[in-house]
Amino acid sequence: MSGVQQFVLTIPQWQQFASDRPHELNDVVASAFARYPYPETFFAWRAGSPPANAVLFNRTDRRPSWSQGQVSPGSFPVSIERNAPVAAAILASIARDVTETRALSVFTVALNDQPYQVVAVLIYGDVYREHLSGVVGFTVNLSWVRQHYFSDLARQVWNIGPGVDLTLAFNISDDQNRLVTGVRIDDNSPLTRRRKFDLAFFDPDAGTYSFDDFVAEVWTVTVSASQDPSLSRGLGLANRILAVGGASSLALAVGLVLMIRAVRERAQLSQMRSDFVSAVTHELKTPLATIKAAAETLSRDRLTGMTTRTCGHIVGMEAKRLSRLVENLLAYSRITDIADTYAFETLAVAAIFNDVQQDFELQLDQSGFDLELNIARDVTNVKGDRLALRLLFDNLVDNAIKYAGSKRALVLNATRVGSHVHIDVVDSGIGIPENELLLVTRKFVRGSAAPAGGSGLGLAIATRIATDHGGRLEIRSAVGHGTTVTVVLPAAGPSKNR
């Protein structure tokens, strides 16, 4: 029952909503009304305007009791209204969640003496959720849900499959065991199954909300075949039906578990992708703003306290930062699906270290880092794609610089272990908690102690590149003492390029 929140409120048209052009959302709302029967009203409001300016999109075939005005028969399935008391009651409840910078607001409110469940998405104008720009959401009439929704839904589900010659009893009861739909079933035989569910028209995993303000009622669905007359035909036939019923129940339970897990994982991925887009947007804006400021300083000859060379260094460093982010985004789309785009060649480890030194020389000098490069005598060449390995080690070194502590030291060690070459990137930074070591190599995942910004792709891309080269990525870390990332690559023969 979370389809509207997941697939309707998240579309871009709501963020472009303008109160003076509400008809632009008519098609979106009409489509949602056609697909989902439970929302009675959609609403949209721009922050900074009075509650009376909130726009309410009502069903024309099931208008709320507080709706005003007349709707002509055969008109568009959506009627647009403004109702100051209703909007004020909804926005007053949402205000509590705005103060706590929540992304989702869920509560129960009485409108014209009718109980409603309200689900609202809070839209912010910045990554840190400091400035609310608008609110979109929908209302569910709980009285209508009790009288119509589940009885209609059960009838549709009951008629989906082919007819079966069984007499099944079915009901749904509320949290006080009052019958909502179906017939009363008091049987506790093995042929009776009960399952509880939350009366919640949203996905709790898609956002945060206050459990103090909203507690979902727990309802129960019951199905029983104990009254089937065919069960009395004989013990053999009864046993066969019990076996089929048990297998069906097991399949249903497994299916429900898998479905719930898939929905939750999809919601988590959706949230991670949303955070990823916000983080990438921030990461792109920061170097662009710095480059723009330096360019304006140079163009207007306002070099106060800095030289042209300093400005040039700043522009070069920020441009390299921007280039690395773009390379990560391109690599994410390229290497996550196809690994045959590499151009493998025999490479000397010294050449790899030289690439790292060239890429970060300016940044390391300006940040006061000491870079130490060590290659053991028995280290041989490796076979790999030079551009891909350059991107791999650029991500590792960039992380070491970004999460550095007070000790500005960075060490690259290369050793031979059996038929592989181990290249260690050692820093003295803030470290990674042990419970996050297996998570930080996943797409879009960033450590809990990581500073603001970052795309969450660096270690994921580095891991994939190492795997595609027949190697692996190993991470050892201690919080407050630093991190060692080891890239294990197969050894190769002599290098052809010096």
DSSP letters, 21-77, are: -GGGGHHHHHHHHHH-SS--EEEEEETTS-GGG-EEEEESSS--TT--S---TT--S
Out of 219-228, 345-354, 488-497, give the one with best mean pLDDT. 345-354
pLDDT of 324? 64
Tens of pLDDT, residue by residue over 158-170, are 665 444 455 677 8
Do the beta carbons of residue 324 and residue 394 sit within 8 Å?
yes
How many C-beta neighbours within 10 Å does residue 249 have? 14
Do the beta carbons of residue 425 and residue 396 sit within 8 Å?
yes
Listed by start position, the domains of the chain span 3-141, 146-252, 275-490
Residue 220 structure tokens: 């129960």
Do the beta carbons of residue 38 and residue 4 sit within 8 Å?
yes
How many C-beta neighbours within 10 Å does residue 136 have? 23
| The 55-59 sheet, strands edge to edge | 78-81, 55-59, 41-46, 132-141, 114-124, 104-111
Query: How much of the chain, in percent, has pLDDT values that exceed 70?
Result: 78
* Strand-pair category, 218-224 with 192-198: antiparallel
Residue whose tokens read 């869920």? 106
What superfamily does domain 275-490 belong to in CATH? Histidine kinase-like ATPase, C-terminal domain (3.30.565.10)
> How much is the mean pLDDT over the chain?
81
- Those residues whose C-beta lies under 8 Å from the C-beta of residue 284, and which sit 6 or more positions away, are 322, 325
Query: What is the secondary structure of 161-202 as a DSSP string?
Result: S---S---EEEEE-TT--EEEE------STTEEEEEEE--SS
Residue whose tokens read 């949402």? 94
- Fold annotation for 3-141: Beta-Lactamase (3.30.450)
At residue 137, does pLDDT exceed 50?
yes
| The 192-198 sheet, strands edge to edge | 179-182, 169-173, 218-224, 192-198
Do the beta carbons of residue 32 and residue 8 sit within 8 Å?
yes
Out of 117-121, 226-230, 293-297, give the one with best mean pLDDT. 117-121
CA distance 248 to 390: 54
At residue 29, does pLDDT exceed 90?
yes
CA distance 316 to 287: 10
How many C-beta neighbours within 10 Å does residue 145 have? 21
Do the beta carbons of residue 51 and residue 87 sit within 8 Å?
yes
Q: Provide the H-helix boundaries in 336-457.
A: 349-366, 386-402
CA distance 23 to 50: 20
At residue 409, does pLDDT exceed 80?
yes
